[in-house]
Structure 1
């Protein structure tokens, strides 16, 4: 066979580290996942977003082999979820840690590192997770934010190819959150894939390359950050104006209007007509600023669309 006729192999960057395909999971009468499918690739952060009960935690539990799917396919590093060979190549930070409170932080780190074939050095773990001064402390004596930093260190200490982070920065102050973000970016730059769930939409905007939005156990959006934002055409208009925001809120194309001191903020389907009317009705208007709607607006609009579709189906 000539070199020209050899089949081309997929690039490692395009082969999913983990994937769900058509996964369904029900708990008695509650359908937690209803045909969910998405994948995580090397060197990217995939943020899975959704309200409480949308299916985020169940999706992670299926990928980790903590619960079995009723239907569909789940795969981690080419292996069934929960396979020991896969576990040695992943790191996990869940909301519920179950860590012994009497254990010293240093003992926890040494024990967890021993599970992996090529763990990071203790010094690297301490530096990356911000554990200076905590190694001789008992886990149960730490603050909530300090415990989250320990959990993060345990998740990354094995040099994982795939990292599951479930609400990782809950309880952290701003400095600790920024430090964790910097470490996550460093890991991703080195080829690690990250599945991130978060209630902080600014965190998803800061870190994620791709976004999956779940609503009532279904995927309502899956794409690059800009693609998900583009699903809505809303614009956010801010200005200094004395106009009555209650009246502005009734204008055609205006979804919401609010006031913060002398400044008003308008969320509109399109900016041109609304801005034209603002200027016409308030000649003293100043400091006009128009921006594309953010991820929070896109998220709300996507889940609102699901509510509308559900209402039509029930009618």
Structure 2
């Protein structure tokens, strides 16, 4: 058994495309038997980090290690599975043929029965790939990604195009793979997906890691709670109350982010006798993500980065 608890890591990695800096000293570790969600807005550096771990490009500086070796080594690549957001799959082949072809690339592939069960391919094996719906194609892509029985699995927006039932099935399959010791790197814009699956979350923006930790730890970074109620109060007036961070109206519903929440709840009850359906919850991962990567946070990060670059110049 490998004593190293990490399946892959980036250590002090820098990457530049011409005058554009994609990664600035990024550290990232992927634990065996765990799901790491890599989150960030478009252009944050996620694709560059994944490309380095897949061996598709080389870092300008720093160390990239995957399964104890170079991500470009054939022995390493045979233990890695990849499901990208877009895939070039031969549309004329039947699902059965695609699975057989892909399994042939690996020395010890997962059984066909396991792939079918995990990906939910019952009834699709004799269909041509090009005749499948978008959601069905995503399920086939997942089966192709796991058929080599990978020790490390990359999932890029894996549930795009899936209905709720298919999404829940894929989540269940990912949990089963992780329970068997597989390491998973998940990139997704569905933050509820990261919240449901991830053991660890890494938030990246402008090539730097802004926050990392468990989902509760990242949520705790903003220390806010969400208040939801049916109220006729004007959101502009509520926005001016002490402790209120943001207010949104969704029809008759008011959604308020606040800390501390108790004084805000007391004032809501005092100023709207008809208020109903009051709920108070801790802020979710989506709230933390927006707080960390929102415009104000990005402006502050940009100023800090620009100052660092000036000093280094």
TM-score range, shorter chain: over 0.9
Q: Tell me by how many angstroms 1:137 deviates.
A: 2.0
User: Whole-Å Cα distance in 2 between the matches of residues 34 and 269 of structure 1?
Assistant: 33
Residue 240 of structure 2 corresponds to residue 250 of structure 1: yes
1:73 maps to which residue?
Answer: 63
User: Whole-Å Cα distance in 2 between the matches of residues 26 and 100 of structure 1?
Assistant: 34
Q: Tell me by how many angstroms 1:111 deviates.
A: 1.4
User: Whole-Å Cα distance in 2 between the matches of residues 172 and 152 of structure 1?
Assistant: 12
User: Whole-Å Cα distance in 2 between the matches of residues 48 and 312 of structure 1?
Assistant: 22
Q: Tell me by how many angstroms 1:161 deviates.
A: 1.0
1:307 maps to which residue?
Answer: 299
Select 1:54's aligned residue among 44, 47, 51: 44
Q: Tell me by how many angstroms 1:121 deviates.
A: 1.1
- 1:239–1:265 CA contact under 8 A, matched in 2: yes
- 2:41–2:293 CA contact under 8 A, matched in 1: no
Select 1:120's aligned residue among 107, 110, 122: 110
User: Whole-Å Cα distance in 2 between the matches of residues 254 and 262 of structure 1?
Assistant: 19
Q: Tell me by how many angstroms 1:22 deviates.
A: 1.2
**How has the CA–CA distance of structure 1 residues 138 and 179 changed in structure 2, closer, same or farther, with 3 Å as cutoff?**
same
- Which piece of structure 1 moves more, 136-145 or 228-237? 136-145
Relative to the length of structure 2, the TM-score reads: 0.92
- 1:43–1:193 CA contact under 8 A, matched in 2: yes
- 1:74–1:81 CA contact under 8 A, matched in 2: yes
Select 2:12's aligned residue among 22, 34, 42: 22
1:3 maps to which residue?
Answer: none
**How has the CA–CA distance of structure 1 residues 221 and 14 changed in structure 2, closer, same or farther, with 3 Å as cutoff?**
farther
2:143 maps to which residue?
Answer: 153
Q: Tell me by how many angstroms 1:103 deviates.
A: 2.1
Residue 85 of structure 2 corresponds to residue 95 of structure 1: yes
1:83 maps to which residue?
Answer: 73
- 1:13–1:43 CA contact under 8 A, matched in 2: no
User: Whole-Å Cα distance in 1 between the matches of residues 4 and 48 of structure 2?
Assistant: 25
- 1:49–1:214 CA contact under 8 A, matched in 2: yes
2:173 maps to which residue?
Answer: 183
Select 1:278's aligned residue among 268, 273, 285: 268
User: Whole-Å Cα distance in 2 between the matches of residues 259 and 15 of structure 1?
Assistant: 46
Q: Tell me by how many angstroms 1:25 deviates.
A: 1.4
Residue 266 of structure 2 corresponds to residue 265 of structure 1: no
User: Whole-Å Cα distance in 1 between the matches of residues 306 and 216 of structure 2?
Assistant: 32
Q: Tell me by how many angstroms 1:50 deviates.
A: 0.6
- 1:220–1:306 CA contact under 8 A, matched in 2: no
Q: State the Cα deviation string for residues 121-157 of structure 1 (Å, max 9, x = none).
A: 1111111111122222222222211111111001111
Relative to the length of structure 1, the TM-score reads: 0.92
Q: How many residues align?
A: 305
Alpha carbon RMSD of aligned pairs, Å? Answer: 1.7
